[in-house]
Amino acid sequence: MENQEKMNKEKLKSMEAIFEAKIANDEKIEPKDWMPEKYRKTHIRQISQHAHSEIVGMLPEGNWITRAPSLRRKVALLAKVQDEAGHGLYLYSACETLGISREEMYDQLHSGKAKYSSIFNYPTLTWADMGAIGWLVDGAAIINQVPLCNTSFGPYARAMVRVCKEESFHQRQGYEIMMTLCNGTQEQKDMAQDALNRWWWPSLMMFGPTDDESTHTEQSMKWKLKRKTNDELRQQFIDQTVPQADILGLTVPDLDLRFNNDTGHYDFGKIDWDEFWQVVKGHGRCNKERISARKNAWDNGKWVRDAAVAYAEKQSDKEEVKKAV
């Protein structure tokens, strides 16, 4: 018995070694391949949370679709929100290949067990927020997502290739909104500045805790869920975004922000991590509103889903009868 156990353990170890070597060699892992339980669980967590973020991410923008200032803005915003629904669906089906059901993922979102990106727990107060979200939030998301096109789990990587291809218009439409406001009246420019003031710091928080506080980095690097650390990605975002703010003539709300000639990067001020953890723990301004909107949509849509199933069953019964007579 003891020998048997020892053999099993050794076998598991060698399978894990083969698995890790495959990833190190840039080979992909596909759903039916053997994988360590921890790999499966980590991927279910990350991919489902990513999917939830896309779905919840529709809500702050959905808030402005009916109030978009022109038809051009309205069709663009509609298309962007529709893309986000699509991205959520790609990711949910990628996640289902790991053996979790769609229903279980929804349950985890609705019960608060699964997280989604904290940025969506902030309110969208003015039209300028649509510009700031596209420019900053989608900008940060792109930096986070591009490296995932090469991640080790095949279905996730393929979904991300599609997502990244579609996402580049999102950031551009946001920046164009900011640009238009900044070339407008003083009131419009003030509105753009106010949106930047409110979205800047939460956008920096999207890259997650600092490296010395981040617990999963080493394992995630190995599995290619991460290619760069949180701090490196955050720095990259700041370096590329500050000049874009300059072009708009807006001021980034950070008194400590200045270009460091020695490092070639921007130095920046302290991030309020207490605020970050408060929002993660559910005490952001919109956490409750977002979850209840999702839950209501799901619960109130039940009769539609049931009716569709009933209709499908009736049609297939009719086919059976037709075949029989």
Partner 1 sequence: MNKNWPLWEVFVRSKNGLEHRHFGSLRAADAEMALNNARDVYTRRSEGVSIWVVESKNIKASNPEHNGELFEPAADKAYRHPTFYNLPDDIEHM
Which 23-52 positions form the footprint of partner 1 (CB under 8 A)? 30, 32-34
Residue 177 beta carbon to partner 1: minimum distance, rounded to whole angstroms: 21
Q: Is residue 166 a contact point for partner 1 (CB under 8 A)? A: yes
- Cα 142 to Cα 166: distance, rounded to the nearest angstrom: 10
Smallest separation (angstroms) from partner 1 to the CB of 258: 41
62 binds partner 1 (CB under 8 A): no
Which residue has 């605020």 as its token pair?
A: 275
Please tell me whether residue 167 binds partner 1 under the rule CB under 8 A: no
Which residue's entry shows tokens 């807006």?
Answer: 250
- Contacts from 190-193 at CB under 8 Å and sequence distance 24+? 191/126, 191/127, 191/128, 192/128, 192/131, 192/132, 192/248, 192/250, 193/250, 193/251
Report in angstroms how near the CB of residue 166 gets to partner 1 at its nearest. 7
Q: From CA 187, how far away is CA 184, in angstroms rounded?
A: 8
Residues 145-164 that bind partner 1 (CB under 8 A): 158-159, 162
Tell me which residue of 117, 287, 119, 126 sits closest to 195, measured CA to CA. Answer: 126
Stretch that binds partner 1, among 68-76, 117-125, 181-189, 312-320 (CB under 8 A): 312-320
Task: Pick out residues in 73-92 that bind partner 1 (CB under 8 A).
Answer: 79, 82-83, 86, 89-90
Which amino acid, 11? K
> Total number of residues binding partner 1 (CB under 8 A)?
29
Applying CB under 8 A, the residues found at the interface with partner 1 are 30, 32-34, 79, 82-83, 86, 89-90, 93-94, 96, 101-103, 158-159, 162, 166, 305-306, 308-312, 315-316
